[in-house]
Chains A and B, each alone.
Chain A
Amino acid sequence: MTTPDNSGDVRLSGISKTYDNGFTAVQPLDLTVPQGSFFALLGASGCGKTTTLRMIAGLEEPTTGAVHLGEQEVTHLPPYKRPVNTVFQSYALFPHLDIFENVAFGLRRRGIKSVKKQVEDMLELVQLGEQARKKPHQLSGGQQQRVAVARALINHPKVLLLDEPLGALDLKLRRQMQLELKRIQTEVGITFVHVTHDQEEAMTMADTVAVMNAGRVEQLGSPADLYENPNTTFVANFLGTSNLIEAEVDTENGDDIVLKAGGGKLLLPKARCSAPTKTGGKVLVGIRPEKIALTHADDAGEIPAGRNRLTGKIADASFIGVSTQYVIDSPVCDELAVYVQNVERDGRLVPGADVVLHWSPAHTFGLDATQDIDAGTEEEAAA
């Protein structure tokens, strides 16, 4: 790399996209992807993530705003004049060209005559040296995916855009390719912008994840940060599973907020509450299922003091190997999810049993109660 350090920055300032039919796919958006990072745009179908990607690629022209690559403004440059390449959804390999020619395509278009060595090296990198003279349809899905990556990377783009690159692969292959893409990214050091609807994929691969919903970025941060401290119900539900319980603000006690839920009280660290709190106001209390411990009601006395507690009755239990997933009906909230590691299984925890759910207040997060409590859940995504 002879270019200065920030030449691979992607800077989106105020870009938005409204189609001729009036549909706004992307609301005005500011985003900076630093050079060399693996950045994921995560969201459900139609959230605007692909449109954002296409505006970076030059395949869509933004309605407002500007796109910068490093210091260069590229907002109105056609795609073939941008130092950006894309791995397309379902790959878009040219069916009439063999693998070699697919990979050589970009080099040839830029008038480079001797492409043989470069292409062969590239095919070696993705372990497809043997397949050079085959047509795309003769390769498996995973091999096609690697050709698509090779075809884009051979041009040494400043930024590589990946549009659902693993969507067409089966689960096992997807895991394998996730690791491989991550390895390639570390090796070549190019900025990767990765669009996906699969939260696990985004968290596995990316340094930074932007969660998008309805044309806006809901929250941006590292995977762990997003998971532990979601700011909205959408992020809380879309990334993993969250139990959200409606509660009323009672008092403030030092660094904690005391909340009333049902008959009991719950503690919430102030720092972990993204909602404004005033006494008598409503707040959504969030807790991840694996953070909750489950104790049979008979042993309730053994629970250490200072923990948040709820009572409930087991509605359903499913054993899935590493853990057991319980569904618990509680007076404050139906269908609470609790994942318990299968270390020491309590035989009494069967459907119908009365239990106490308890967790450390430090794991609790608080969200604004004016939001849709079901935003980002699977039921909603399917609708």
Chain B
Amino acid sequence: MPFVTWLKRHLVVIAGLLTLAYLLLPNVIVTLFSFNKPKGRFNYEWQQFSLDAWKQPCGVADMCGSLSISLQIAVWATVGATILGTMIAFALVRYRFRARGAVNSLIFLPMAMPEVVMAASLLTLFLNMGAQLGFMTILIAHIMFCLSFVVTAVKARVMSMDPRLEEAARDLYAGPVQTFVRVTLPIAAPGIAAGALLSFALSFDDFIITNFNAGSTVTFPMFVWGSAQRGTPVQINVIGTAMFLVAVFITLASMVISSRRNKQKA
């Protein structure tokens, strides 16, 4: 009976950890298979250990080029969406104006729309306008779908901000610009950063909308998609593993730094 009691008490924990395993299993496989030396074109079956791919991460034609395109698009999309989204968020929280409902739904709808619908409709627009599909059209699309996420993240932060802080700044001789730069912006920064980070991740990883509007430009997800048809080089797994490790490392490092800083000051 003690075992049954123990099981009952920890059922949630066990189920949760199983889900976590389900979430992480593909990453384990991706990492493992980055050390594989496959026979044939596809890297789906384990053959033998090899460091070849790690030694030559750009050894596959066009892959690193597509990676660089994806990074550029992600950076610009992040910058664009963050600036535009932050402005909208401030307007929504700080001011009263007409058509607030319309603005809110126009921000909500892109998040409630299947990607394929946005992708297809945007393509009809570009075709109708006779636009040249490529880097610019991808960037336009990415800014579009990242915007709403930035607005949501920044809005949450600005809304939870005590309006008295800005009053205190104005009371202490800071004019409107100074108040914004010295108080509002620094306090809203975590929300803006969260929005920017989300934008980067969404843009970098987007496939469906990009696939419709890319023309002959090949982003990294499109390269992976193509390789699923033609043959998957091991280098894909190297990139995937490296990205995962960098992400975990950066988050852990920032956590350690911030907790140490708090300890020092306490």
Q: Which residues of A contact B (CB under 8 A)?
A: 57-59, 78-81, 84-86, 88-90, 92-96, 98, 105-106, 109-110, 133-135, 138, 151-152, 155
Contacts and interface: CB of A to CB of B under 8 A. Distances in A.
Nearest to A104: B172
Q: B-side binding surface: helix, strand, loop or mixed?
A: helix
A138 B265 contact: yes
Contact of B171 (A57, A90, A94, A133): A57
A134 B182 CA distance: 18
B173 A135 contact: no
Contacts of A133: 265
Contacts of A110: 173
B165 A94 contact: yes
B176 to A, nearest CB: 8
| Interface bin, chain B | 20 to 34
Contact of A80 (B162, B175, B186, B187): B175
B161 to A, nearest CB: 9
Nearest to B179: A80
B178 interface: yes
B98 interface: no
B37 interface: no
Nearest to B187: A96
Contacts of A84: 171
A98 B178 CA distance: 18
Given A80-B175, A138-B266, A95 B187 contact: yes
Interface string B184-203: 00110100000000000000
Contacts of A93: 168
Contacts of B171: 57-59, 79-80, 84-86, 88, 152
Contact of A88 (B167, B173, B187, B266): B167
A157 to B, nearest CB: 9
Smallest CB-CB A-B distances: 7 pairs:
A106-B172, A92-B164, A109-B173, A92-B168, A79-B170, A96-B186, A109-B174
Given A79-B170, A80-B170, A88-B167, A135 B265 contact: yes
Contacts of A86: 167-168, 171
A88 B166 CA distance: 11
B169 interface: yes
B144 interface: no
A152 B172 CA distance: 7
B164 A78 contact: no
22 contacts: A59-B167, A59-B170, A79-B167, A79-B170, A80-B173, A80-B175, A80-B178, A88-B167, A88-B171, A90-B162, A90-B164, A92-B165, A92-B168, A93-B168, A94-B165, A94-B183, A95-B165, A105-B174, A105-B182, A106-B172, A109-B173, A155-B172
